[in-house]
Each structure stands twice: as C-alpha cells, then as structure tokens.
Structure 1
Amino acid sequence: MRGVRAASPRRYGRRVATYPAADGAGLTYDAHGPADAPVVIALPGGSARDPAYLGDLAGLAGARRLVVPHPRGVGHSPLDPAHASWWAQAGDVQDLRLHLGASRVVLLAHSAAARQAVSHALRFPGLAGLVLVTPSAASLVDVTSDAEAVAARRATDPVFRAAVAALEGGAGTSSAQAYDAWQHAGAPAGYAAWGTAERAHAAAGRWHLAAARAYLAGPPPDDLRAGLPTLTVPTLVVAGAEDALTGVTAPAALAAALPAGRLVVLEACGHYPWVEQPAAFRAVVDRFLAEVLPG
C-alpha cells in the first residue's frame, strides 16, 4: 500500500471562497470536488498550519465535496486573537456549515484540530459524523500516552533522533520564521518512515506562530471531558501504530469515551495516514462515510 500516493488537489478542481463569521470577519475556505456532492469539512491541525498540507486527503474529493477552512491567522483568514482560540473557532465551523447550506455534514479533523471538532459537535448538534485523524487528545482524555514508547522503537534512526532533538530543544518563538523553521526541523518525527513522499509532504504548509498562540490560548471549558459520554454522533478515530507524536493510547481512550466511537489503527503509519498509508486510510474513511453520509 505504500506505493499508492495521495492525488493532487488539482485533479478534482479547487476553489477558494469566503464565508461570514458571526463576528463579521470574512474567513476563507478551499473547496475541492463536485459542488453537489455530500460535504466533508476538514479542519487542519498544527496548531495553525497552512491547510495545504492536507491536500485532497488521498483523493477524498473524488466523490465528496471537501471543504477545508483556513483557521484564523492562517492562509487568507485574518487573525483576531479575541476570536481565535480553538473553542471560539468551533463556532466558526457552525458559520461555515450555515454558509454551505448542507443539511448533513461530516466533520474531519487532524491532530490538534480534534479538540475543536469535538467542541463543535458538543455545542452544535446535527453532524452526520466525526472523523478524528491521529488526534491530539491530551485535553480530552486522562490517560498515559505511549508516544515515548513508540519513539523508542525508532531510537536507532539518525534522522528520527535529530528530529526529536530539534523538537525537544524548544520552540523557536523569537519570530514567525524561527517557529516555522523549528516545526520543519522536527518534521521527520511525525512519520513512520522518511521517504520521498514524506519529505515532499513535510515541506507543504507553513506554521503560523501568532495564530498558534491564539489558537491555544485559554483553558478548555471545565465540562468538556464530562460532555464526551453525551456525544452520540458516529465517530471514527484513526491512529497510526508508529505515531510518535500522539501515540495510540490517547486516541484509543478518546474512541472508547464516545458512545458511538470506533478506533482503527493503521500499521506502518505515523501522524499523516493519508500520505503514509493512503490506500488503507481511504478504505477505512470511505467505509465510514458510506454508512453516515451516503452519496
């Protein structure tokens, strides 16, 4: 399966558009795929990484309308720190849903955006489904992560060791350029292997320091974890068996905490399943979408 790679977003067409947020800001989104197809909204992680790194999620836009919002302060969306925390941007997703006018939507989120997606689902009912891809779940579940154990299996890999050392050296927060450079230096730690496709993918999408600070500002609501047992929307959690950033135990605990949660762990896969194992990723996601959002 490693020989099958994600399709270019240009294959299915890409349109850049804006929608009005509740605070009056004009926020940007990319739309891939047929305009009349069932809608999947995909939230990029990072935090605050340019959504170009999502591509078209291994060709998901071939049969779906894939809508990818630019977080506040990223891409073409303006930054207002007062409205840019992940909790506040959960409301932006609702504004986007209203703008699109789709009666049923699946919300997909990668990595750090999982908390935004879960917060949105708790506050705004009516989603057809949730897909949480290698979610950063530390703020959502209380469980010991196995990420260090996963990393230990790669201890003899010099490229991986150098990437981990860069990450552990501390974020370069002296400037936006330093922060982006720090993230790119640590990029190899996010993949199960460091091949041609992985290197090309790691170069896509800048990280934005000011937007990341705003996104992570403020504590989560006290009742966020308590609300998980009430979240009955069908939820697919996809983890990578070799994900040294989030591990497997936290995504597994998140899936178990949700009444309609299910977990799929992809072998030989790190933090970016649509790049590392695109065929396996599409198989599990397509099967889930066929259940909750038939086209």
Structure 2
Amino acid sequence: MTVNRHLDELYGLRSHTFPALDGGTGNLPAPDAVAWRFNTNHFYSNGEDWNSLFARFCDTVDTTRVKALIVGQWGDASSDDSAEAVKTLVAARDSFPALRAVFIGDMVGEECEISWIRQTDVTPLLTGFPELEEFGVRGGSGLEFPATSHRALRKLVIQTGGLSAEVVRGVGAGDLPALEHLDLWLGTDEYGGDSEVADLEPFLSGARLPRLRHLALRNSEIQDEIAVAVAAAPVVARLEVLDLSMGILTDEGAAALLAGQPLTHLKKLDLHHNYLTEPLMDRLLQTLGAAGVEVDLDHDGAEEDEDEDDDEPFRYIAVAE
C-alpha cells in the first residue's frame, strides 16, 4: 500500500545522491555518469535547505554535462509543496544544456506517504527545458498539469494514490508528438482519484500521441472498466506494452480483454497485482503466452478483506498511501 524504494535509475543512469553538507565531495562520479538525486530532511541534510543544497551542487559539479536530476524531499513535503524546487530548477535552466530527464518527488513511505506529497504545477519544467526527454512526478495532492506542448518528451510518468480528472484531462489535451511511454497511476477517489474512463479517451482513441508504444493505466480502483474500454481501443493495435497492473482487476476485466481485439502482437501484457481466478489466468496464458506475449499475472500482494456488512470482499489497489 506504499512506495518503499527510491528510484534506482533515471534515463538509463543509476541514481546517485549528492552528499549532505558534511558528507564530502571528493570522490563524486562524472557529471554525466549518474542521475543526481537531491534530498533534504532533518536527518539527512543537517539543516541545509533544498535551495542551498542545489546551489552547492551547482558550485561543485559541471552542470553543463548533467543529464538527469531526481528531486527527493525538499523539506517537509507533507506541508510544503514542490513549487520552490520547480522554480529553482527552471531558474537554473541555462546551466543545464544537456539535461534530458527530471523526476520530482522521489520519496518512500517512511519519508512521506505518496498521498501526502504536496505537488504544484509541474509543467514549467517542460516549458523551461524544451529538450527534456523523460519526466516523472510522484504525488497527486495539489498536482497541476495543464495542457502543454512539448516536442521532445518521450516518456511521462505520474505516480499517485489518487490522480485528479483535471490532471488526466490536461495530459490528454497536451501536444506531445514524441511521447512513446505514458504511465499514469490513477488511484482511488479516497485520495482524489476522480477520473473516469471517458477522461482516458484521448489516450485510447489513437488520435493523439502518434508514437505511443507503451501505455500504462494502472493502480486504479476502476481497473475492470478500463480493461473493458481498452479491449476495443484503437490505440492498442500499435502498442508493444500494455500495462493494467496494480489495480482492482477481476475476471470481468480479464474476460473483456480476451473477448476484445487481438493482443497477440504485444511484447508484454502486465496485469500484476490482480484478483483473477486460476481459470482466467490459464486462459490468458494459453491465448497470449502461447503466442509469445510476456504476461505478468503475479498477484503481488493483492489482498481481500471481508466486510462484515457486505458479502463482497474489499479489495485494494497496490499503492494508495
């Protein structure tokens, strides 16, 4: 029910945390060899705030060679949003001509639960860095993503326990002609995930995102409804990877996928963390696995609670808080 690992890599580069104030900077990796991670909290930073940490990084490392940046804690992320960090990065754009990837909010549950992370309008980073190829954000509280035009972005990841319909619509209305990989964690209405299947139409119709090859619409409490829509979605014919994992997917959704358009052209169908019965999993493996599709059906912690007032069990998405 929570995120328990920091990013291992970004843009194909292993992550490396820039040392704290007393950590020493004598043996740092080459500027373009890693994805640089920044983290400020009471235990790590010895009182150094995020802007001071970032300024020290810029004074220490040749930023003209840096390719990837990962923003972890910018202080108390449950009370202070990411606006200052976003503003600071955008202000430094001329010092980062080689920057191609940014991730905002790389925190685990022990630092700040995903539903508590306070975000802001993150699209100034896309506007400020027109050569950015990968962009990711974790946390849906206060997150804004108005329709944006970006010609170079190839990968967009938004990880939340509840993604607002407004953000989903903003992404869908954007002009992102180079986007190949879209990953949205839609979440539950308990944490602000109020989007509906109709909000996903720009991604499913195939009319937008002409280069999309990897589509992940996951971590959703309406995973069955999404699967039904995907079963007839025109975009599926040109996908290589379809990811409907981490949500409340039952036999209803899986049966719709099997009854819909052929999926045998896919390289991978990811349905891990599911509530499927053995017969449906066998059918998926027989139909798709036999055709060479990699099918991930790992239950991966999917649990059911009995509701004393209802005959139906209560099911959980993989990440909500």
Q: Same fold (TM over 0.5)?
A: no
Query: What TM-score do you get using the length of structure 1 for normalisation?
Result: 0.32
Q: Which has the higher helix share?
A: 1
Higher relative contact order structure (alpha carbons within 8 Å, sequence separation ≥ 6): 1
Q: What's the TM-score, normalizing by structure 2?
A: 0.30
